[in-house]
Chain A
């Protein structure tokens, strides 16, 4: 498996650390309530199909990235820097 780091380019999967659903980017406010926090920290879908996940190019440039891929076909649709996603959203 290979991923294209937005900074370093096309790299082998071994250089990347897998975190999980990119919902981790949307950290709720302190007062958001137990249910929201539970969803943020614990609840994850396990789709056979498209996912939007967080990875880190740990053995490369260190960037956290958001990867859109398909767990059935293994096709990768796109990769972007988590930092830009966070800055745009915040």
Chain B
């Protein structure tokens, strides 16, 4: 039997280290979008806590439990990153496997915020976009999910097909910021 081999979205594009910032491909694990049905939010919230120890995130927030993350992902939607969703969740929410839909990169370093300020039109100052905050917004011309994982560390998701453009745009910004140091 023929074997299929898998490739990650940023295969051959990363890692990069420029100036005080590193850009590496992230492995957020299995990705499942979770979208509660009408009136299902409460039951879903309980099921998520009991199955994964995760609270349903408020808009622009992320819940974390160990290696599992529940990242707010849009209107009444969150992205479960890490574990496979517990089967019981499907009773309350539409679950859709998105594991291969997103290119995920991890941007870290002193200037990470300055790099993103060149591409992202939202307020990323730490006082307004703290660790655990997330946003659906743009990076360059691409729709994206951006989450602050640490004081100088961000998780960025764009459509898989745009991985090359994401790396290109970030690399340009990394070089421009590094040249200012």
Contact = CB atoms under 8 A, between A and B. Distances in A.
- Are A and B in contact, CB atoms below 8 Å, in the complex? yes
B172 interface: no
A86 interface: no
Q: Contact size class for B?
A: 10 to 19
Contacts of B135: 8, 60
A15 B121 contact: yes
Contact of B60 (A9, A15, A58): A9
Contact of B137 (A7, A15, A63): A15
Interface string B141-174: 0010000000000000000000000000000000
B129 to A, nearest CB: 11
Interface in A45-73: 58-63
The interface residues of chain A, by DSSP majority, are classed as loop
B122 interface: yes
A26 interface: no
Interface in A10-62: 10-12, 14-15, 58-62
B21 to A, nearest CB: 24
B74 interface: yes
B75 A11 contact: no
A59 B138 contact: yes
A15 B143 CA distance: 9
Interface in B45-77: 59-60, 74-75
A7 B137 CA distance: 13
A62 B74 CA distance: 6
B67 to A, nearest CB: 26
Interface of A: 7-12, 14-15, 58-63
Given A60-B135, A61-B74, 6 more contacts: A7-B59, A14-B138, A15-B121, A60-B74, A61-B59, A62-B75
Interface of B: 59-60, 74-75, 121-123, 135-138, 143
